[in-house]
Amino acid sequence: MKNEEDIAFYLEVCLEENDPRLLAAALGDIARVREMAQLAHDTGLAREGLYKALSVDGSLSLATIMTALGARLHAEIAPAHAR
């Protein structure tokens, strides 16, 4: 992930899988690319706590991490569920 477009594409692909554990792992990957120390400062968490929260079994709120990463989610209805 070399730029913002790469990060957005990676996150979008992970979101398409509709797997919360994969999303948690992806957010952790993105946080590491974005400098974990700065992200810890932005969220007010200790760096070690942030690593734990962004693990697959972590508990950091999605709103907190998305805000800290400067990311937004969007939704669309899957074709099989469209009316």
Amino acid letter, 55: S
Q: What's the average model confidence in pLDDT over 26-46?
A: 81
Contact residues for 51 (Cβ-Cβ < 8 A; gap 6+): 28, 36
**How many whole angstroms from its chain centre is CA 78?**
21
Given a cut of 60, is residue 15 above it in pLDDT?
A: yes
Amino acid letter, 42: D
Total domains present in the chain? 1
- Dist. CA 19–CA 14, nearest whole Å: 8
State the residue range of the domain holding 28: 4-81
pLDDT digits (tens, 9 = 90+) for 48-66: 877 777 776 766 667 667 7
